[in-house]
Chains A and B, each alone.
Chain A
Amino acid sequence: MTEEQVFLAALDLDNPDDRTAFLEKACGGDVAFRRQVDELLAAHFKPGEFLNEPLGRQLGSGLATPVHDCLVSQIANQRGGAGAGEKKPEEEHDDLQFLKPSARPDSLGRIGHYEVLQVLGRGGFGIVFRAFDEALQRVVALKALAPTVAATSPARKRFLREARSSARVRHENVVQIHAVEEQPLPYLVMEFIPGETLQQRINRTGPLDAPEIVRFGRQIAEALAAAHATGLIHRDIKPCNVLIEEGHQRIKVNDFGLARAADDASLTQSGMLAGTPMFMAPEQARGEPLDHRADLFSLGSVLYVMATGRPPFRASTTYAVLRRVIEDSPRPIRDLIPETPQWLSDIIAKLQAKKSSDRFQSAREVADVLADCETRLGMNPPPKSFSRISRSRPSASRFGQWKWLVAAVLFLPVLALAATEFIGLTHWLHHQQPIPDQSKNVEGEQTRLERPQDNGLPVDFNNTLAMKFKLIPAGKFKMGSSPEEIEYWLNLVEQEGHKLFLRSESPEHEVEITKPFYLGATEVTVGQFRQFIEANPKYMPDDDRWNDPGFKQTNEHPVVWISWRDASEFCNWLSKKEGRKYRLPTEAEWEYACRAGTNTRYCYGDDEAQLDRHAWFINNSKFGTKPVAGKKSNNWGLFDMHGNAWEWCQDYHDFDYYQNSPARDPMGPEDGMRYVKRGGAWCFGAVDARSAYRSHTGGGCECGFRVLLVAPPDNAPAENAK
């Protein structure tokens, strides 16, 4: 046994006697070896913090875990308690040294002319008290910069500067700052708001209903508008910075501008971003310069929490949250709470646009829109126009388009919906009339589709390897992506290589597929490929890892580590074996079949958040492919067109091919170095899984294929006779 093995085995024994006995045996008579192991074990059990704390954190010790996050959230906790039972153990008060002794028995001490009555909250950034203003004889809230933070002058200066600028904002929905003091340390004197925070409210009651969301949201927007008018950005709008005043149900937004001072302070103390980034705008998460529209994104996220009861971007680590804020669309609200009106989820989606230029452009505008909704909600029945909501919504029209396409595909009589731009609104006014939901569109349904050009061919066909094929009707489609779509993704990806591929989706052009064909309903599986290998013992696949890919696979997994040559040879063998014509699909045939009548980003629509239902990709399939047909099929019954294995196509790849591609049955460039592959893969992202994404790079653990069968399937009856 090695030193390591003996050491680890000894650690597994809890009883010291067992351990000694084991060591005797394991080390035999080797005294030097035994001493080494003993020293290792001694080092292991020796008390002390050796290596336990990352070095950077040690050097930046002090405020290891800032919780300024919900600094004031305890405000409500004191209600009715009148300080009783709130007496904290003395050791917790050692940061209250700056208070002067007081004569009042219920006071913790004095600061200026304030009697400090109670600690309402503590954080890395500061302490919040309930206090009594002796001069004006009223209860106030005091927020003092933590003594450790106050010691460093930039943090102190910034705190004072931000506090003074926020004191200039006077609005009924903003917590009023009465005074900003510097001695003995910087502190704010604020209006004391009895009530609870929005976070506490949501925790207590769960999601709020639409009228309340609109009412609260409007007031937050008013507060933001007032602050923005003075040039102040909040930077940290979140449910625990929103107070709901008891009795009035009035909103008071707290901590204007202080987030930056707080971050500054805690960054320099601990190097960590204070608080949670869950409500940050993407530009904030990226550390880019920001303007007032960052607050609008955060407002969107707050409305989202009100509507659903949960934050839109959740993850286990700060970093993962940041990434989600930057990359992900939140789960559609109506997935979580179906009765949320469409117009409300549209408003929220617009606030949460990743690009600030796609959001509402001012808090005033948001406040006005919500005020409009509020008024109309108060009427019974609500009037017919919410035109303000829908007017400037680019994503609404895309959403509308998507609905239109689904409707068109299913031939349901809701085409009328497409006639109006105000789809969400129409829907709402029609009292949740069910709309065609793509989730119904699973395998089985597609056989009901009207397919005029099928020429009497059967929709389903199974071959001798039990491979399932689906009939793909002849037809026309738009191949590639629109300039807007490409622009959208160019803004999201950063790698130049990636951008090159995205640009190759242009120009979008009409292509006609003139003959129906059959396409494998699934990617070729390990089991099917194995039959090919077993039937051709002389054939050497280009990479023998197809059978041992580095993760667990069964015969039902799509085969990967497949080269284009392997895929083609499989088709040739199968053609010869069955007397039919099998081949890889062309790039055009692939995209046409993938789209299955849609013109959207994915075969079901544009929403990346729903890709999880249709595809195995990076977000849901770490460490390997997944058995075929585990997710929803597209309209034509094809599985895993998005994700799982990346699929080889027949044609050579050329970035510029779309510039002069034939309009009918394009076959790819005459010549080339590499072949096209389509559909993204288990280890790649949502961008690569799109219907239009073209790739060629590499081969490897993501590469598999699907087979095309030329129609009609049974043109060689002789095969059956053999």
Chain B
Amino acid sequence: MIEVTQLLNAADQGDPQAAAHLLPLVYDELRRLAAARLAAEPSGNTLQPTALVHEAYLRLVGASGGDQWDHRGHFFAAAAEAMRRILIDDARRKAAERHGGAMRRQELDADVSPVPEPNEDLLALDEALNRLEVEDPLKANLVKLRYFAGLSLAEAAAALDLPERTAGRHWAFARAWLRRAVEGSSEKES
């Protein structure tokens, strides 16, 4: 807990190392929380990222740390990246299962509604996001905050310290950019 707070402080003072060190801690906490959620209801398949992220924040930083609003930006950034890894790993695992022995479980739980397919091709999206991250880290962060951490535009804008209108324009561009990369017909090099 101290460590997270110290790292957040260092990150606030512009130490890029701190942000990097923050990630594994946040990742572990989120993984643990997500696992606990899944264990509580193994046949369900749900992760409400915003709830997880907020819970992780309260656990790692504490309620009083919440006062330091500038902390939250760094925390959310780390959490969004962590959620991305958790969710993408999950998608990879599922994709592998689909080719493998997952059918039995489906048969056993006949009355469980099938796991919904996301609107996006997650693995392609992940790759595209990697490229966006190189070109424009700010917009990549915005996408992670919204899509993986589940923040609203206003919350994400606050976390990134952007006016909401600017964040909205960034979002429009990033979304189109990623969609072109994932779904577009062109073989465009970025």
Interface residues of A (CB under 8 A from B): 4, 7-8, 11, 35-36, 39-44, 46, 48-62, 148, 151-155, 264, 267-273, 286-287, 317-319, 322-323, 326-327, 492-498, 618, 622, 683-685, 687
Cα distance A327–B55 in the bound complex, in angstroms: 15
Known contacts A494-B63, A495-B1, A618-B69; decide if A152 and B147 are in contact (CB<8 Å). no
Query: Which residues of chain A have C-beta atoms less than 8 A from B149's C-beta?
Result: 54
Q: How many residues of B contact A (CB 8 A)?
A: 63
Q: Give A44 to B188 CA distance when docked, in angstroms.
A: 17
- Identity of the chain B residue whose Cβ is nearest the Cβ of A48 in the assembled complex: B119
Once the chains bind, are B5 and A497 in contact (CB under 8 Å)?
A: yes
Asked if A43 and B179 make an inter-chain contact with CB atoms under 8 angstroms apart, the answer reads: yes
A56 to B83, CA, bound (A): 9
**Beta-carbon contact of A54 and B2 below 8 Å:** no
State the CA gap A687–B184 with chains docked (Å). Answer: 53
Which residue of chain A lies nearest to B125 when distances are taken between CB atoms in the complex?
Answer: A51
Residues 71-111 of B at the A interface (beta carbon under 8 Å):
83, 87, 111
User: Which residues 34-54 of B sit at the A interface, judged by CB distance below 8 A?
Assistant: 37, 40-41, 43-52, 54
Q: Is there contact, CB below 8 Å, between B48 and A270?
A: yes
- B44 contact set on A, CB distance < 8 A: 60, 152, 268-269
Q: Smallest CB-CB separation from A325: which chain B residue?
A: B63
Contact between chains at A683 and B70 (CB < 8 Å): yes
CA distance A60 to B47 in the complex (A): 6
CA distance in complex: A41, B20 (Å) = 35
CB-based contact A319/B54 at 8 Å: yes
Residues of A near B178 (CB, < 8 A) are: 50-51
Q: Which residues of chain A are near B37, meaning CB under 8 Å?
A: 267-268, 271
Residues of chain A within 8 A of B51, CB atoms compared: 271-273
Determine which residue in A41, A62, A494 has the highest number of CB atoms from chain B within 10 A of its CB, and name it. A494
Q: Judging by beta carbons under 8 Å apart, are A56 and B41 in contact?
A: no
Q: Is the CB of B41 within 8 A of A268?
A: yes
Distance of A286 Cα from B58 Cα, bound (Å)? 8
**Smallest beta-carbon distance B176→chain A, Å:** 4
With a cutoff of 8 Å between Cβ atoms, the chain A residues found around residue B55 in the complex are 287
B176 touches A41 (CB 8 A): yes
A272 and B63 contacting across the interface, CB-CB below 8 Å: no
CA distance A82 to B83 in the complex (A): 51
Contact status B148-A55, CB under 8 Å: yes
Q: Per a CB cutoff under 8 Å, which of B63, B148, B155, B179 touches A317?
A: B155
A40 touching B2, Cβ below 8 Å: no
List the count of A-B residue pairs having beta carbons below 8 Å apart.
Answer: 193
Choose one: B58, B65, B66, B180; the contact of A39 (CB below 8 Å): B180
A538 to B45, CA, bound (A): 66
Is A7 within 8 A of B176, CB to CB?
yes
Pull 20 A–B residue pairs with CB atoms less than 8 Å apart, ordered by A.
A7-B173, A39-B186, A39-B188, A43-B179, A52-B119, A53-B119, A55-B118, A56-B83, A59-B118, A60-B46, A152-B112, A153-B43, A154-B40, A155-B41, A268-B41, A270-B48, A271-B46, A323-B63, A494-B64, A495-B64
Contacting pair B1 A496 (CB below 8 A): yes
Question: Would A497 and B2 count as touching, CB distance under 8 A?
Answer: yes
Residues of B within 8 A of A153 (CB): 43
A322 touches B41 (CB 8 A): no
Q: From B1, B115, B122, give the contact of A55 (CB < 8 A).
A: B122
B45 near A59 with CB under 8 A, answer: yes
CB-based contact A43/B67 at 8 Å: no
- Inter-subunit contact B64/A43 (CB<8 Å): no
* A contact residues around B6 at 8 Å (CB): 497
Which chain A residues lie closer than 8 Å to B182 at the CB level?
50
Contact B1 A269, beta carbon cutoff 8 Å = no
- Inter-chain CA distance A49–B118, complex, in Å, is 10
A286 to B2, CA, bound (A): 19
In angstroms, Cα B113 to Cα A152, docked, is 10
Contact A269-B46, Cβ < 8 Å, known A8-B173, A152-B41, A494-B63: yes
For A50, give the chain B residue with the smallest CB separation. Answer: B179
Q: B150 near A326 (CB under 8 angstroms)?
A: no
Contact indicator per residue, chain B 144-185, by CB within 8 Å of chain A (1) or not (0) = 001111100001000000000000010011011111101111
Chain A CB within 8 A of B130 CB:
no
Contacts of B69 in A (CB 8 A): 618, 622, 683
Chain B residue contacts of A326, Cβ below 8 A: 58, 63
Tell me which residues across on chain B come within 8 A of A7, comparing CB atoms.
Answer: 172-173, 176
Measured between alpha carbons, how far is A583 from B51 in the docked complex, in Å? Answer: 51
Interchain nearest-CB distance for B83 vs A (Å): 7
In the complex, residue of chain A having the shortest beta-carbon distance to the beta carbon of B115: A59
* Residue in B2, B49, B112 whose CB lies within 8 Å of A56: B49
| Pairwise interchain contact B54-A152, C-beta atoms closer than 8 A | no
* 8 A Cβ contacts from B116-150 to A: 116, 118-120, 122, 143, 146-150
A-B contacts besides A323-B63, A327-B64, 15 pairs, CB < 8 Å:
A8-B173, A39-B186, A43-B177, A51-B119, A52-B119, A58-B118, A60-B48, A268-B46, A270-B48, A271-B47, A272-B51, A495-B2, A683-B69, A685-B68, A687-B67
A contact residues around B111 at 8 Å (CB): 151
Contact residue among A44, A51, A152, A493 (Cβ-Cβ distance under 8 Å from B43): A152
B118 vs chain A, min Cβ distance (A) = 5
B46 — which chain A residues lie within 8 A by C-beta? Answer: 56, 59-60, 267-271
Contact residues in A for B24 (Cβ distance below 8 Å): none
B153 → A minimal CB distance (Å): 11
Q: Across the two chains, which residue of chain A brings its CB closest to B158?
A: A622
Contacts of A44 in B (CB 8 A): 172, 175-176, 179
Q: Hey, which chain A residues are within 8 Å of B116, CB to CB?
A: 58-59, 61
A8: B residues at CB distance < 8 A: 169, 172-173
Partner of B47 from A56, A264, A687 at Cβ < 8 Å: A56
Please give, as numbers and ranges, the residues of chain A lying within 8 Å of B63 by CB-CB distance: 286, 323, 326-327, 492, 494
Residues of A within 8 A of B64 (CB): 327, 492-495, 498, 685, 687
Q: Which residues of A contact B45 (CB under 8 A)?
A: 59-60
Contacts of A267 in B (CB 8 A): 37, 40-41, 46, 48
| Contact, CB under 8 Å: A62 / B150 | no
> Which of A11, A46, A155, A319 is the most central at the interface, judged by chain B CB atoms within 10 Å of its CB?
A319
In the bound complex, do residue B150 and residue A54 qualify as a contact, i.e. CB atoms below 8 Å apart?
yes
Q: Which residue of A lies closest to B122 (CB)?
A: A55
Is the CB–CB distance between A57 and B68 below 8 Å?
no
Give Cα A467–Cα B147 distance, bound, in whole angstroms: 52
Compute how far the CA of A497 lies from the CA of B1 in the bound complex, rounded to whole angstroms. 11
Question: Contacts A267-B40, A273-B51: A51 and B118 contacting too (C-beta < 8 A)?
Answer: no
A595 CB to closest chain B CB, in angstroms?
Answer: 23
Report the minimal beta-carbon distance from B6 to chain A, rounded to whole angstroms. 8
Nearest-CB distance from B114 to chain A (Å)? 11
- How many angstroms between the C-alpha atoms of A40 and B118 in the bound complex? 22
Q: Does B16 contact A (CB under 8 A)?
A: no
- Find A272's partner among B48, B68, B120, B186 (CB 8 Å cutoff): B48
